[in-house]
Amino acid sequence: MTDARGVRPRALQAHGPEVAAARARRWGAFYYAEQVLRVMKGYSWSIVMYSVGQPVAYLFAMGVGLATLVDGQGGAAFGGVSYLAFIAPALLVSAGVMTAANEFTFPVMDGFKWRRTYYGPHASPLTPGQIAAGHIMAVTLRLLLQSAIYFLAVALFGASPSSWGWAAILVATLTGLSFGLPLMAYSASITEDKGQFALVMRFIVMPLFLFSGTFFPLDTLPLAVRWIGWISPIWHGTELGRVLSYGYQEPPLLTLLHLAVLLGLAALGWTLTRRRFALRMGQ
What is the pLDDT at residue 1? 47
Counted domains in the chain: 1
Residue 213 lies in a domain: yes
Residue 83 lies in a domain: yes
Which H helix or E strand runs over 192? none
Print pLDDT tens along the chain (283 aa). Answer: 455 555 454 544 556 666 666 676 678 899 999 999 999 988 888 888 887 787 778 888 876 777 777 766 655 567 788 888 999 999 999 999 999 999 999 999 999 999 999 999 988 889 999 999 999 999 999 999 999 999 998 999 888 999 999 999 999 999 999 999 999 999 999 999 999 999 999 999 999 999 999 988 999 899 888 999 999 999 999 999 999 999 999 999 999 999 999 999 999 999 999 999 999 998 6
Whether 110 contacts 154, CB under 8 Å: no
Residue 8 lies in a domain: no
Residue 2 lies in a domain: no
Query: In angstroms, how far is CA 71 from the centroid of its own chain?
Result: 31
Whether 233 contacts 97, CB under 8 Å: yes
N-terminal to C-terminal alpha carbon distance within the chain: 59
Give the domain extent around 119.
27-281
Residue 19 lies in a domain: no
What is the pLDDT at residue 33? 96
What is the pLDDT at residue 63? 67
Q: How far is the C-alpha of 272 from the C-alpha of 249, rounded, in Å?
A: 35
Residue 41 lies in a domain: yes
What is the pLDDT at residue 27? 82
Residue 12 lies in a domain: no
Query: In angstroms, how far is CA 33 from the centroid of its own chain?
Result: 15
What is the pLDDT at residue 11? 47
The helix/strand/coil state of 52 is helix
| Helix 252-281 × helix 168-189 angle, to 10° | 30
Helices marked H in the chain:
17-41, 44-58, 67-71, 83-103, 106-109, 119-122, 128-156, 168-189, 196-200, 206-210, 223-230, 233-246, 252-281
Of 179, 251, 165, 241, the C-alpha closest to 209 is 179
Torsion 159-151-187-280 (CA) sign: negative
Q: How far is the C-alpha of 215 from the C-alpha of 226, rounded, in Å?
A: 14
Of 95, 99, 93, 140, the C-alpha closest to 243 is 93
Residue 263 lies in a domain: yes
